[in-house]
Structures are given as structure tokens and as C-alpha cells.
């Protein structure tokens, strides 16, 4: 259903929360119709200005690689963070542009030395072994894959890399759960009144823990990421306490939530497509890398980020006239199903190659710094899981909350072993 001039009607617009309560196939059908239009679709035009949906692979890529036109500031998420929130908790890299973003990203990038990354690869393998073994120790009955494997894996890897002491990890996990409880969800009036305060208190508590660890590492540096981030480099650049807290918060979304969701979607997809599962398990060495990228493409852990137009611009592939102050929504899941780029895009194919998906962003200065680590984590879990338990499978469809920001999996029932013919969901 569309409105005037081919624009989507209110109940068919991916810019509205109601859209994300629809079943996945209905949303995919809408995005397919939007991709067939000649130019980015105007999805909002009112007192707050114009907002366009970028749904094609080429348009999302072009916007990602034109930071002088498509700004992340004042915020890449909706709503953008208030000024007092930014002043209190620090600026997140995802909401910065230009020199401010370049400085923070430069400090962070220099901390990811080859030695750190090599040690992380060893830690990832050990963590995958430990997490999968823990799931096995709980028995072979039905359990929640998110709680047993998908959530603890990236969280433990992040804490190990950052150098978070064991005694602080449980407190941080509790605060994360409180802060993220209602993100992207339709809420009751009571939840709308309570959740901002609850989330900010949890975030403040987490920042206090990270700031304390940062102070300790400045005095007594260790061989971890926090020590490298708070110590001045050759140019005197380092992260302040607020910047360190903001970076850790960003990692919890970019490095933990997305990997968690990709792992959960991956087990479900391999269960729902037994022929692809058989192909993968037939030769993990050959197909594991392409399978990981296909899981990321097909599930796309982050639905969208937003940009604000900073200057007059004619769309690279569409001819759309953008004006300063306009907003654009980059829909990564739609771009990852673009018929112009992917053959049979709705098919889940673990051998797909090439696979130029945008699951980690469309390139440019905001491309995910942790893409390599995320791939390593997904690869390590799948290899360990299916080597130890070839029959591991989901026993029901994932519980997916209707969020407009991330493709979150709240729960995925699974078993480690299966009788013949019981793995379809």
C-alpha cells in the first residue's frame, strides 16, 4: 500500500514503529517494493522535516562513504541522545563526524595491535570451548541458546580483551540487562516513565565501574585494551574517563549484541535449512567462512542507522535532491536482499561467494572496527558446537521482539542432540 507520489502510506512505512510489529515476510515484501522504485522513498514529511528511506545496496553504500554529506551527528539512532546525556556520559563515536570522530577512532584503532588481535584469536577459541562445554554440562534437554551460548560468548571475549576483572563482570552484565530492557520496543505508559531513568542509572553505574578500572590501569598498566586506551600514545592522545565509558557502551552494542544475535539466528537458520546444514557440516574447513558471512547477510543484526544531510546533494544513483537538514535511514537488511547485487537474495546459501553484504556497515569512516573479531567469534562457536555436538539444533523459532533498531533474539530453544527427522522448525 502506497500513498501519494508512490510514497509508502503510514501503515506501510519502515520509519514507523508499527511496521516492525509485522511478520518478517511482510516486511521483506514491503522492502522489495521500495527497492523497485526509481529513487529513495520519502517516508516522513512534516514539522520535523523530511526523512528518506535508503533501501538499495548502492544507495546505502554511497551514503556510508560520503561523510561530508551524510552526517552521523546529532545521532545515528532514534531519538538522538540529548545534549545533557552526551555531556554526562561522553560522545559515542557512532554519533560523531570529522576530526572528533577521527581522533577517537584513531586512538581506538592504534590499540588494536597485531599482538592484541593475535591474543584475542586464542582467547576466542578458548572461550568458545568453555562456553559450549558449559552448555553441554547442563545436559541435553531443551535450553535457551541465547542464555547458554550466544550471549556469554561475545560478552566474555569483550571483557577478556578489555581486561575487566572477573569480580566486575557479573555487575556489568546486570547493568547491561537493565539498560537494554526496553530499547526499540513499544512500551506501556509505566514503562515509558520508568525505563529512561532505569536505563540511565544502569549506564551511569557501568561507567563508574569502567572509569575505576581505567584509573587503576593508568597507575598499573596491564597487557589489555583498557591499558592501551588510557595511556597516551606518541602524539599524547588517549581516552578520557568519559570517552572510555562511551566506547565501552558502544562495544556492548557493536561487539556483543550484534554477535549474540547473529549466533542465535545462525543456529535457527541452519536448523530450518537442513540441506545447508548438511553442506556446512560436510566440510567445515571449506564452507565455514562463507557460512558466517551468509548468516550475517541473511539475518542482518542491525536493522538501521540514520544520517542527517549536511549539504545540498543529488543522490549518486537516484538523482534525489537532498537538502540540508533532511534525514536518511540506511536500511541494511533491505540492502542485503537487493536483487541487483545478490542472486536469489531470499535464499539462505552457505556457499554464497562473493557476498558483499552490509552487515558490518557500508564502508567509510564508520565501518565496524570489530568486524574481523565478530567473524572469528561466530566461526569459533559454530566449529566448536558442531564438532562436539553435530546434532545441535533449534527446537522452535526464535523469539524476536518487534524492535526497529536491531534484529534481536530474546530466546531460542535448542537441544544439543537430535533424533533423525526432528530438526525442522
Distant-in-sequence, close-in-space partners of 267: CB < 8 Å, separation ≥ 6 = 145, 150, 385, 392, 393, 394, 412, 414
The region of weakest confidence among 45-54, 146-155, 192-201, 232-241 is 192-201
Question: What pLDDT, on a 0 to 100 scale, did the predictor assign at position 48?
Answer: 83
Question: What pLDDT, on a 0 to 100 scale, did the predictor assign at position 215?
Answer: 96
Give the separation between CA 395 and CA 425, rounded to whole angstroms.
6
The region of weakest confidence among 84-88, 147-151, 322-326, 369-373 is 84-88
Strand-pairing partners, residue 322, are 313
Q: Which run of H or E residues covers position 366?
A: none
Cβ atoms of 37 and 12 within 8 Å: the answer is: no
Distant-in-sequence, close-in-space partners of 381: CB < 8 Å, separation ≥ 6 = 128, 131, 132, 149, 150, 153, 263
Give the separation between CA 383 and CA 132, rounded to whole angstroms.
10
DSSP state of 97: -
Please write the tens of the pLDDT for every residue from 223-256: 899 999 999 988 889 999 999 999 998 888 888 9
Question: What pLDDT, on a 0 to 100 scale, did the predictor assign at position 221?
Answer: 95
Give the separation between CA 199 and CA 205, rounded to whole angstroms.
10
pTM, 2 dp: 0.91
Higher pLDDT, 6 or 284: 284
Band (283; pLDDT cuts 50, 70, 90): very high
Burial class (CB in 10 A: 0-12, 13-18, 19+), 81: middle
Band (361; pLDDT cuts 50, 70, 90): very high
Q: What does the H/E/C string look like for 280-315?
A: HHHCHHHHHHHHHHHHHHHHCCECEEEEEECCCEEC
- Is the pLDDT reported for residue 293 higher than 90? yes
Higher pLDDT, 86 or 144: 144
Q: Which run of H or E residues covers position 393?
A: strand 393-394
Cβ atoms of 101 and 93 within 8 Å: the answer is: yes
The region of weakest confidence among 118-122, 296-300, 335-339 is 118-122
Q: Which run of H or E residues covers position 74?
A: none
Cβ atoms of 17 and 404 within 8 Å: the answer is: yes
Give the separation between CA 365 and CA 258, rounded to whole angstroms.
19
3-state secondary structure (DSSP) of residue 40: coil
- Mean pLDDT value across residues 95-111: 91
Chain centre to alpha carbon of residue 337: 17
Please write the tens of the pLDDT for every residue from 171-210: 998 887 777 665 544 444 344 434 456 778 888 999 999 9
Question: What pLDDT, on a 0 to 100 scale, did the predictor assign at position 85?
Answer: 82
Cβ atoms of 93 and 108 within 8 Å: the answer is: yes
Count of helices and strands (H, E) across the chain: 16, 10
Amino acid at each position: 500500500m502506497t500513498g501519494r507520489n508512490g510514497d509508502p502510506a503510514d501503515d506501510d512505512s519502515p520509519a514507523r514503529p508499527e511496521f516492525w510489529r509485522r511478520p518478517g515476510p511482510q516486511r521483506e515484501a514491503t522492502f522489495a517494493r521500495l527497492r523497485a522504485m526509481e529513487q529513495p522513498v520519502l517516508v516522513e514529511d512534516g514539522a520535523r522535516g523530511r526523512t528518506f528511506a535508503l533501501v538499495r545496496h548502492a544507495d546505502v553504500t554511497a551514503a556510508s562513504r560520503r561523510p561530508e554529506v551524510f552526517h552521523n551527528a546529532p545521532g545515528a539512532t532514534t531519538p538522538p541522545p540529548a545534549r545533557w546525556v552526551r555531556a554526562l556520559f561522553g560522545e559515542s563515536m557512532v554519533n560523531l563526524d570529522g576530526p572528533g570522530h577521527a581522533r577517537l577512532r584513531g586512538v581506538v584503532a592504534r590499540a588494536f595491535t597485531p599482538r592484541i588481535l593475535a591474543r584475542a584469536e586464542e582467547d576466542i577459541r578458548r572461550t568458545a570451548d568453555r562456553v559450549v562445554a558449559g552448555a553441554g554440562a547442563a545436559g541435553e534437554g531443551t535450553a535457551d541458546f541465547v542464555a547458554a551460548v550466544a550471549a556469554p560468548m561475545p560478552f566474555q571475549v569483550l571483557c577478556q580483551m578489555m581486561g575487566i576483572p572477573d569480580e566486575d563482570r557479573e555487575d556489568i552484565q546486570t547493568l547491561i540487562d537493565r539498560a537494554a530492557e526496553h530499547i526499540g520496543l513499544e512500551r506501556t505508559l509505566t514503562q515509558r516513565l520508568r525505563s529512561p531513568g532505569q536505563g540511565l542509572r544502569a549506564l551511569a553505574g557501568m561507567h563508574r565501574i569502567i572509569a575505576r578500572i581505567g584509573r587503576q590501569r593508568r597507575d598499573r598498566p596491564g597487557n589489555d585494551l583498557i591499558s592501551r586506551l588510557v595511556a597516551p600514545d606518541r602524539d599524547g592522545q588517549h581516552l578520557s574517563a568519559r570517552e572510555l565509558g562511551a566506547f565501552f557502551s558502544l562495544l556492548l552494542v557493536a561487539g556483543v549484541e550484534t554477535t549474540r544475535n547473529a549466533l542465535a539466528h545462525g543456529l535457527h537458520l541452519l536448523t530450518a535449512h537442513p540441506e545447508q546444514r548438511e553442506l556446512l557440516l560436510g566440510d567445515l574447513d571449506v564452507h565455514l567462512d562463507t557460512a558466517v558471512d551468509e548468516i550475517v547477510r541473511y539475518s542482518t543484526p542491525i536493522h538501521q542507522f540514520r544520517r542527517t544531510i549536511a549539504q545540498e546533494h543529488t543522490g549518486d544513483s537516484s538523482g534525489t535532491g537532498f537538502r540540508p537538514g533532511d534525514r536518511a535511514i540506511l536500511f541494511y537488511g533491505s540492502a542485503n536482499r537487493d536483487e541487483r547485487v545478490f542472486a536469489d537474495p531470499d535464499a539462505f546459501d552457505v556457499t554464497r561467494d562473493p557476498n558483499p553484504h552490509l552487515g558490518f556497515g557500508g564502508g567509510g569512516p564508520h565501518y565496524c572496527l570489530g568486524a574481523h573479531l565478530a567473524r572469528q567469534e561466530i566461526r569459533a562457536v559454530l566449529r566448536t558446537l558442531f564438532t562436539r555436538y553435530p546434532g545441535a539444533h533449534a527446537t522452535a523459532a526464535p523469539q524476536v521482539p518487534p524492535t526497529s533498531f536491531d534484529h534481536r533474539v530474546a530466546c531460542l530453544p535448542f537441544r544439543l542432540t537430535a533424533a533423525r527427522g526432528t530438526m525442522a522448525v
